[in-house]
Copies of this chain bind each other. A is one copy, B any other.
Amino acid sequence: MEVLRVSGNSKPNALAGAVAALLRSQRSVEIQAIGPAAVNQSVKALAIARGYIAGDGLDLNVQPEFIKLDVDHEERTAMRFVVRAIALLQAG
**A79 proximity list for chain B (CB < 8 A):** 43-44, 47
Complex: how many Å from CA A63 to CA B39? Answer: 15
B-contacting residues, A40-68, CB 8 Å = 40, 43-44, 46-47, 50, 59-66
**A63 proximity list for chain B (CB < 8 A):** 50, 59-62
Interface bin, chain A: 10 to 19
**A39 proximity list for chain B (CB < 8 A):** 36, 39-40, 43
Interface residue? A37 (CB, 8 A): yes
Residues of A within 8 A of B (CB): 36-37, 39-40, 43-44, 46-47, 50, 59-66, 79
A-B contact pairs, 22 of them (CB 8 A): A36-B36, A36-B39, A39-B39, A40-B40, A43-B64, A43-B79, A44-B66, A46-B64, A47-B64, A47-B65, A47-B66, A47-B79, A50-B63, A50-B64, A50-B65, A59-B63, A60-B63, A61-B61, A61-B62, A61-B63, A62-B62, A62-B64
